[in-house]
Amino acid sequence: MKESRGGMDIEILQRELGSIREELQLLITERDSLRKELTTIREELARKRDEVKKFKEELNKVRNRLNELYQKLAELKERSAKLRNALRGHLYELKEVSIELKKSQPIRIHMSLDEIKQRIEQLEWTIMTTPYLDQRDEEKMVNEIANLERIFKTVTTNQKRYSELIQRYDEIRGAVDSVKEELSRVSRELNECRNSIALAKEERNRIKQTIADLIKEIVEIKNRRDSIKEKLKSIANLINEKRQRYVEILSEIKRIQIEIRESAKERVLKERRKSALEKLNKGERLSLYDLYIALGETTEEKDVEK
């Protein structure tokens, strides 16, 4: 009865062993699959980090370029301001010279300068070569010479001043044109610099957004990685528990098997004793082993009675 019950226990335990083996196989398969997935995730995470590093390097380059462009823009603005100040100065000076030119219009006379010189020389020659020149006529000629000389001096002075003003006006006009041309060039460079800054800003913002998206992906990947790590930890605990139970069952089966063997051995021994005692009571011949068993049983009974 005891052996039968032990056999049933072993059968139950062996079925549990089979179930545990299947569960272990499934758990190990799932663990290996998760490990592969974890390796893939780590590789993906490394790639994403490399991409972030690359884009950060690009971002630094764009920022450096922006700093250079801002510095250039400041220099161009300063240059433009100086040119505008110079232009205002030149224009003010040009206005002043224009006013002077209007004031210094050439004197209109009925004779040319050459004709005035010629008339003066003629009058002087007449005074010098006429021996009996009337005093009134001489005075008249002298006065005419003085008047002509005054007119000649006034006209020549006026013409010289007017010529100088014209020359100065042309110089200032040339300076104005030169400053305007330089200002136009600087204005073009300013526009180009502003456009370059706008494009660099767009590129900077695009790279920053790309980095932000990558970091968001990295966070998601890390969450997946941590989730898989937790699953692996849980599976590892289950595997350890199953293996421990497996060992416990094997130990229990071994114990039951030993118990069954001992029980069977004891049953056989009792039967041998019973047979040996029957032979002994009948006076039949016994083997030394049967006699040993029978005497052993008798001695044990006596010990019990005592």
Per-residue pLDDT reduced to its tens digit, 8-51? 677 888 888 889 999 999 999 999 999 999 999 999 999 999 99
Cβ atoms of residues 80 and 72 within 8 Å: no
Cβ atoms of residues 299 and 292 within 8 Å: no
- Whether residue 290 lies inside any domain: the answer is no
Listed range (54-68, 134-148, 240-254, 292-306) with the worst mean pLDDT: 292-306
Phi-psi region of 304 (alpha: psi -120 to 50; beta: other; left: phi over 0): alpha
- Whether residue 215 lies inside any domain: the answer is yes
- Whether residue 268 lies inside any domain: the answer is no
Return the HEC string of the chain. Answer: CHHHHHHHHHHHHHHHHHHHHHHHHHHHHHHHHHHHHHHHHHHHHHHHHHHHHHHHHHHHHHHHHHHHHHHHHHHHHHHHHHHHHHHHHHHHHHHHHHHHHHHCCCCCCCCCHHHHHHHHHHHHHHHHHCCCCCHHHHHHHHHHHHHHHHHHHHHHHHHHHHHHHHHHHHHHHHHHHHHHHHHHHHHHHHHHHHHHHHHHHHHHHHHHHHHHHHHHHHHHHHHHHHHHHHHHHHHHHHHHHHHHHHHHHHHHHHHHHHHHHHHHHHHHHHHHHHHHHHHHHHCCCCCHHHHHHHHHHHHHHHHHHC
**Alpha-carbon gap, residue 2 to 6, rounded angstroms:** 6
Number of folded domains that form the chain:
1
**Confidence band of 298 (pLDDT split at 50, 70, 90):** very low
- Whether residue 154 lies inside any domain: the answer is no
pLDDT at 206: 96
Q: For the chain, give the mean pLDDT.
A: 83
- If you search the block for the tokens 């000076």, which residue do you land on? 93
pLDDT at 105: 63
pLDDT at 293: 65
**Confidence band of 304 (pLDDT split at 50, 70, 90):** very low
CATH number of the domain bearing residue 245: 1.10.287
- If you search the block for the tokens 């293996």, which residue do you land on? 243
What pTM was computed for the model?
Answer: 0.60
- Whether residue 152 lies inside any domain: the answer is no
Task: Tell me the residue range of the domain where 195 lies.
Answer: 2-105+166-256
- Whether residue 275 lies inside any domain: the answer is no
- Range 233-255 average pLDDT: 91
- Whether residue 295 lies inside any domain: the answer is no
Listed range (100-109, 208-217, 223-232, 235-244) with the worst mean pLDDT: 100-109
- Whether residue 112 lies inside any domain: the answer is no
Q: At 198, which amino acid appears?
A: A
Angle at CA of residue 229, ends 223 and 231, nearest 5°: 105
% of residues, the chain, pLDDT over 90: 47
**Alpha-carbon gap, residue 302 to 306, rounded angstroms:** 6
Cα Dmax for the chain: 220
**Confidence band of 238 (pLDDT split at 50, 70, 90):** very high
Q: At 123, which amino acid appears?
A: L
pLDDT at 299: 41
- Range 231-259 average pLDDT: 90
Other beta carbons within 10 angstroms of residue 185's beta carbon come to 12
Q: Which long-range contacts (CB under 8 A, 24 or more apart) does 200-209 make?
A: 200/62, 200/65, 200/66, 200/69, 201/66, 203/62, 204/59, 204/62, 204/63, 204/66, 207/55, 207/58, 207/59, 207/62, 208/59
Q: At 271, which amino acid appears?
A: E
